A and B are shown apart, each in its own frame.
Chain A
Amino acid sequence: MSENTLDNEEFDTIVLGTGLLESIIASELAAADKKVLHIDRNPYYGGRCACFTLSAFIEWAIEYRDQRQTPLVDIFVGSIDSDSPTFSVRRTAELKQAPAESNSTKTSSHASRLFDRLSSYLTDSQTLTEHSSITERLGKLLENDRKYAVELAPKVAYCRGELIDLVINAGIGEYIQFKGVEHNYIVRNDAVERVPDSKGDIFASDSLNLIEKRKLMKLMTAITDNDEDFAQLLGDCADMGFAQFLETKFKLSGKLLDSVIFAVARAGSRDELGARAGCERVQKYVRSVGRYGRMAYLCAMYGGGSEIAQSFCRSCAVSGGTYILSEDVRSIESRDGEDRGYAVQLGHGCVFAKHVVLDPCYAPDSLPSDSAISRAVCILDSPVFGEDTTAILSYVADAGVVSMLYATQATLAAPSGQCILYAWTNGQLSDTRALLLRALTAVSGSQARPLFTALFEAQDMQPGEGGLPELIYTAAPDSSLDFDSTVAHAQRVVARLL
Chain B
Amino acid sequence: MERETTPEIASTFKILLVGDSNVGKSSILLRFTDDHFLPPEDTSATIGVDFKVKLYDLGGTRYKLTIWDTAGQERFRTLTSSYYRGAQGVILVYDMCSRESFEHLNNWIDELNTYCSNDDIIKMVIGNKIDKESERQVPRKEGAEYARKHQTLFLECSAKTRIGVQQAVEELVNKIVETPSLWRKSTQTKGVISIDNSVTSGIPGGCAC
Chain A residues at the B interface, C-beta cutoff of 8 Å = 3-4, 44-45, 146, 164, 167-168, 171-180, 292-293, 298, 301-302, 307, 310-311, 313-314, 317-320, 322-325, 348, 388, 409-410, 412
Please indicate the chain B residues that have their CB under 8 angstroms from the CB of A167 in the complex: 195, 197
Please indicate the chain B residues that have their CB under 8 angstroms from the CB of A177 in the complex: 85-86, 192-194, 203, 206
Shortest B85–chain A CB gap in Å is 6
How distant is the Cα of A323 from the Cα of B80 in the complex, in angstroms?
10
Shortest A480–chain B CB gap in Å is 21
Of the four ranges (under 10, 10 to 19, 20 to 34, 35 or more), the interface on chain B belongs to 35 or more
How distant is the Cα of A174 from the Cα of B204 in the complex, in angstroms?
11
Contact B192 A3 (CB under 8 A): no
Contact B48 A388 (CB under 8 A): no
Please indicate the chain B residues that have their CB under 8 angstroms from the CB of A171 in the complex: 197-199
Among the stretches B30-38, B67-75, B87-95, B127-135, the one at the interface with A is: B67-75
Please indicate the chain A residues that have their CB under 8 angstroms from the CB of B198 in the complex: 171
Question: Is the C-beta of B202 less than 8 angstroms from some C-beta in chain A?
Answer: yes
> Which secondary structure dominates where chain A touches chain B?
mixed
Contact B197 A4 (CB under 8 A): no
Question: Is the C-beta of B4 less than 8 angstroms from some C-beta in chain A?
Answer: no
Please indicate the chain B residues that have their CB under 8 angstroms from the CB of A175 in the complex: 82
Please indicate the chain A residues that have their CB under 8 angstroms from the CB of B56 in the complex: none
Q: Chain B residue with minimal CB distance to A387?
A: B187
> Which secondary structure dominates where chain B touches chain A?
loop
Cβ 8 A contact of B201, one of A3, A173, A320, A348:
A173
Chain B residues at the A interface, C-beta cutoff of 8 Å = 21-22, 47-51, 66, 71-73, 75-78, 80-83, 85-86, 117, 187-188, 190-199, 201-203, 206, 208-209
**Given A173-B194, A180-B193: A314 touches B72 (CB 8 Å cut-off):** no
Cβ 8 A contact of A318, one of B50, B75, B76, B194:
B50
Q: Chain A residue with minimal CB distance to B209?
A: A293
Contact A3 B21 (CB under 8 A): yes
Contact B71 A307 (CB under 8 A): no
Contact A322 B75 (CB under 8 A): yes
Contact A301 B192 (CB under 8 A): yes
Contact A293 B80 (CB under 8 A): no
Contact A324 B76 (CB under 8 A): yes
Contact A314 B71 (CB under 8 A): yes
How distant is the Cα of A105 from the Cα of B183 in the complex, in angstroms?
42
A–B Cβ pairs within 8 angstroms, 29 of them? A3-B22, A4-B75, A45-B80, A164-B195, A167-B197, A172-B197, A173-B194, A173-B199, A173-B201, A174-B199, A176-B82, A177-B203, A179-B193, A180-B191, A293-B208, A298-B193, A313-B80, A314-B50, A314-B73, A314-B80, A319-B47, A319-B48, A320-B48, A324-B78, A325-B76, A388-B190, A388-B191, A409-B187, A412-B117
